[in-house]
Amino acid sequence: MELFADKRALLFPTGIGVSTRGGCSYPARTESPTGVVESIPGAKLTVADLFAIWGQPLSDRGFAGFHGPVHAWVGGCPWPGKVGSIPLARHAEIVLEVGGYVPPHRLFLFPS
């Protein structure tokens, strides 16, 4: 997942969904600031679920403290529905943008 606000790339934080106690984790988590989101196999999660785990707001009018119309792309194509409804599918290239256009990537070289 890539986030852009005011024509700047935002780093997706390391440690979303990872507990600092007991080695537990949520069904979706980030282990590096690359934007790669790991999830439990078979989990039917959405972008809204990830933002809820992160504890950041998400709507069609803003995300993570940035305000304005949110535009979303999946695999380089505009997403027609609500931003939060985008499924966290395996190897999906998801881009969320507010406050200016940055051309979305169509692919990402995922680690093996």
> pLDDT (tens digit, 9 = 90+) per residue, 1-19?
889 999 888 888 888 998 7
59 within a domain of the structure (yes/no): yes
Residue 28 lies in a domain: no
Give a yes or no: residue 27 inside a domain. no
In a domain, 107, yes or no: no
Domain count, the chain: 1
- Condensed to tens digits (0 to 9), the pLDDT of residues 17-54 reads 987 776 677 889 888 888 888 888 888 999 999 999 99
Residue 63 lies in a domain: yes
HSE (side-chain half, CA atoms, 13 Å) at 73 = 17
> Tokens 């119309």 label which residue?
69
Domain annotation covers residue 58: yes
Name which of 10, 91, 22, 97 is nearest 54 in CA terms.
Answer: 10
Q: What is the pTM of this model?
A: 0.86
